Structure 1
């Protein structure tokens, strides 16, 4: 394999793919994090100038990878725990451990990179399964394709539900001028005990200052793209192909919307394979047989000058 190209950024040596003013910067040693996605000179994702590289898992920015489970899990009302089918209780932090652990670069080219996290003593303590979890980023002429692949390398069924945490760059004062378009979906949130709220019918369009979007899971009930119309550009998340079939393997179960504060200059739109606590309630829980693998693919397609003044 050709050695990956690196670039120094914020005191770190990051992997770079792409050319000129369209490229990616990635941090395999820090959870396989996509740190920057620059398209024609513009940052598509948010990354703070004062990022704490000693605690990258806590940095708000880029695209953290969520595996093996997404969100918060509860056992008898206690967070950070989950119960396996045999009744054993394990400790596992919010969004799992992938964003905390080093990945290895398993493939590399001028326009694509694949990074892999394999099971180890560090993962088996809270998740006693054998696996290989990979992410593949490929630059497109008009965007980015991302594939999450999970392979069961053990000898028993493996439960999982992975996802993304895209921090899209958006000045907070522009939220009211930004739109989110959704296919048919139901809005659900997580209750304090780890359960799910009663589903509500979702809307086809939202302004990003709509409080109903905060910390909300949009459970997909029909195929179709999720689109962000921001001042100066649009971002179309293609979660299925034109025929309404998933691009390859696992279907996306939900899209989560979230931001941290009223003055945060980012907005998160996150494709997820399941809902938090799915290991207990089953919504989006996936099982891989021994030796089986599957992928979940999304394409982020870009266009400019799409927002109308209103």
Structure 2
């Protein structure tokens, strides 16, 4: 453990690559730097008393992601027994402490969250949720999310990531997002998901039409999702086609405001309100587990 912003965290290094993780604060990846260059953004002045509101790092979204509604009421979901239960936006995992183990080589961390009496009020299931970060080399970070059903009944789940990639806001018009075949959708104010619109292979990050949008993958992508910023001579690739991984459902694009020096590209296993609308909803059988794996690689371009 080391001290960072007056809190105990874990640092992992490989060559010039450094990641900071706070297991007791929702298993949150705080930042990733390669040398002096940030890849994952974290603010200099973060309010650790309200980390769910801090814009930065990678909050873990579990057991469900996005917003849920019952009869128009935000923050609720209805289970199969017709019981209405609370569910905060993006789930509860990002607000809870994880148990953590750092590998002997100092390049990976495995963090685990299990059910408690408190979690069963919102999510009446026995589970083990595990997030693993591993520096493959000085330019590549592998991340896996594993959801295991430790109970006796089928377990509904659709977790995801919320990566805040560091990007000066003035660079958005010059930065492109390259995608495989997708259909673009979004969530309406009443919670409904719009009909799909054929996506395009390339956007610039200043385009309003991709703000808070779900790029639903038509198939397992054979090519990575890419963020390309020629002024910074940087290319970031997100490889979602990893051996042993369940299929990812969508990649969501979002940022907070025009002056935010980050842009979020978020691989998700489902869409908001999937427990009601079925978009990406997964049921994990008793004794089984699902693992979703991705790799993020950073390279320089001419």
TM class by shorter-chain length? over 0.9
Counterparts of 1:91-240 in structure 2 under 5 Å? 91-109=86-104, 110-141=106-137, 142-222=139-219, 223=221, 224-230=223-229, 231-240=232-241
> Aligned partners of 2:280, 2:56: CA distance in 1, in Å?
25
**CA deviation after TM superposition for structure 1 residue 8, in Å:** 1.2
**CA deviation after TM superposition for structure 1 residue 107, in Å:** 4.6
> Aligned partners of 2:16, 2:246: CA distance in 1, in Å?
33
**CA deviation after TM superposition for structure 1 residue 145, in Å:** 0.3
> Aligned partners of 1:266, 1:108: CA distance in 2, in Å?
30
* Equivalent residue in structure 2 for 1:84, among 64, 79, 97: 79
> What 5-or-longer segments of structure 1 have no aligned partner?
1-5, 242-246
CA contact (8 A) 1:22 1:41 kept: no
- Which residue is 1:244 aligned to? none
- Size of the aligned set, in residue pairs, is 296
Structure 1 residues 202-248: Cα deviation after superposition (integer angstroms, max 9, x where no partner): 0000000011110000000132311000222111000015xxxxx32
CA contact (8 A) 2:10 2:21 kept: yes
Greater mean deviation of Cα atoms: 254-263 or 104-113 = 104-113
> Aligned partners of 1:56, 1:147: CA distance in 2, in Å?
22
> Aligned partners of 1:271, 1:162: CA distance in 2, in Å?
9
**CA deviation after TM superposition for structure 1 residue 42, in Å:** 1.7
> Aligned partners of 1:250, 1:133: CA distance in 2, in Å?
15
> Aligned partners of 1:118, 1:108: CA distance in 2, in Å?
20
Structure 1 residues 96-132: Cα deviation after superposition (integer angstroms, max 9, x where no partner): 0010000010453311110001111221111111101
Q: 1:51 to 1:213 in 2, by over 3 A?
A: same
Query: TM-score if structure 1 supplies the norm length?
Result: 0.93
**CA deviation after TM superposition for structure 1 residue 20, in Å:** 5.3
**CA deviation after TM superposition for structure 1 residue 19, in Å:** 4.3
Query: TM-score if structure 2 supplies the norm length?
Result: 0.96
CA contact (8 A) 2:14 2:135 kept: no
> Aligned partners of 1:20, 1:106: CA distance in 2, in Å?
21
Aligned-partner SS, 1:250: coil
RMSD, aligned CA: 1.1
**CA deviation after TM superposition for structure 1 residue 46, in Å:** 0.8
**CA deviation after TM superposition for structure 1 residue 143, in Å:** 1.0
* Equivalent residue in structure 1 for 2:280, among 261, 279, 284: 284
1:272 is the counterpart of 2:273: no
CA contact (8 A) 2:157 2:281 kept: yes
**CA deviation after TM superposition for structure 1 residue 165, in Å:** 0.1
**Structure 1 segments of 4 or more deviating over 3 A?**
none
**CA deviation after TM superposition for structure 1 residue 90, in Å:** 0.5
